[in-house]
Amino acid sequence: MNTLTSFSAVAAPERARIVVLATGGTIAGSAATPTETSAYQAGALGIDTLLTAVPALDEVARIEAQQVASLDSKDMSPAFWTILAQRVNELLADDAIDGVVITHGTDTLEETAYLLHLTVKSRKPVVLTAAMRPASALSADGPLNLLNAVTLAANPAAVGQGVLVALNNQIHSAREAAKTSTYAVDAFQSPEFGILGWVQDGRVEFGRSVVRAHTTATEFVIGAAWPHVEIVTSYAGVSRALVDGLVAAGVRGIVVAGTGNGSIHASLQQALVDALKQGVAVVRSSRVGSGHVMRNGAALDDALGFVSAGSLNPYKARVLLMLALAAGGTGPVMLQRVFDQY
């Protein structure tokens, strides 16, 4: 066999087959003029328009697009999470599909991403992307973010990394990504831990992986039941009225966005102790935005029956608490095990 024959016998690698699920957001936003970047309608454009704006996508992957919703993600709901997670799981169970990209608004992306990170039952790549400027804007960031997200989802290095977030050339883990700016295109950070890697000009490089259990290694399956869990914040002069109102409304869990290391104002703390006696789960997180909440750092948990959220921000802690309660989790020992594991 000569060299030419053996070369021609090797089939060119097939482009990955990626499904893009569109949910709306600023990446699909449209404003009256190109200079308007704050007053616009999120989710105004369909996924076909977004894909047509990026012809280079064709070279990266064979793409199939589905418009799942046209939401401003400020209006995201657990009911929609059920639909989305089920759709992702169905798609990834198909051997012909290599990965999923989800276009999403930035406002609640960190919550949806973490929910999927805990409930997708596949090692195939799932990448969320978004934009800070509407598609109609000068220097819109959506088209390149979309190209990079598909590039990442099509890359074998993204397999088994859990759900990923790709914006501004950076790769974040869904567990850690958080929106940290109201306007900047580098709005997303992974406080404390940093990015997993980067994607640029068709190249993908990972510098680290997440070590906490995710996707196929979790005990959570997506269901239709979402226990009522809310977040309350501790601050100067906070009253107990919100907690008392939530208990009266039948809340199952409360995440406290505490001050500093998850410390809680005395009046709020007493309300939470009373809530706990009514069977409400109480998880301490921090409103600070980075760092972690040490269990018993404020001598609260063993004494009062609270759970520490560790390094999860309040919004991600709420997602985990909802899943844990839905899976039948009860009591501070079991719930602390869940927060230590994920």
Residues contacting ligand ASP: total by CB under 6 A: 12
For residue 26, give the amino acid letter: T
Confirm whether 108 is a catalytic residue. no
Identify which of 291, 286, 237, 236 has the alpha carbon closest to the alpha carbon of residue 257.
286
For residue 160, give the amino acid letter: G
Q: Is 154 in the site for ligand ASP (CB under 6 A)?
A: no
* Structure-token pair, residue 301: 């948990």
Identify which of 22, 21, 24, 26 has the alpha carbon closest to the alpha carbon of residue 187.
26
Q: Which stretch binds ligand ASP (CB under 6 A): 12-20, 84-92, 99-107, 268-276?
A: 99-107
Q: Would you say 145 or 155 has its CB closer to ligand ASP?
A: 145
| Residue 285 near residue 312, CB atoms below 8 Å | yes
Q: Is 42 in the site for ligand ASP (CB under 6 A)?
A: yes
Q: Which of 19, 26, 89, 310 is close enough to bind ligand ASP by CB under 6 A?
A: 26
Q: Is 110 in the site for ligand ASP (CB under 6 A)?
A: no
For residue 92, give the amino acid letter: L
- Catalytic residue chosen out of the listed positions 23, 26, 106, 129: 26
Q: Is 146 in the site for ligand ASP (CB under 6 A)?
A: no
Q: Would you say 107 or 176 has its CB closer to ligand ASP?
A: 107
Q: How far is CA 23 from CA 225, 286, 288, 304, in A?
A: 21, 29, 30, 41
For residue 197, give the amino acid letter: G
Q: Which stretch binds ligand ASP (CB under 6 A): 100-108, 194-202, 223-231, 290-298?
A: 100-108
| Residue 293 near residue 186, CB atoms below 8 Å | no
Q: Would you say 128 or 335 has its CB closer to ligand ASP?
A: 128
Q: Which of 20, 132, 140, 325 is close enough to bind ligand ASP by CB under 6 A?
A: 132
- CA torsion sign for 167, 16, 211, 293 is positive
Q: How would you classify the pairing of strands 281-286 and 253-258? A: parallel
Q: Which stretch binds ligand ASP (CB under 6 A): 24-32, 113-121, 210-218, 313-321?
A: 24-32
Q: What is the CA radius of gyration of the chain?
A: 21
Q: Which of 21, 44, 60, 72 is close enough to bind ligand ASP by CB under 6 A?
A: 72
Catalytic residues: 26
Site residues for ligand ASP per CB under 6 A = 24-26, 42, 72-74, 105-107, 130, 132
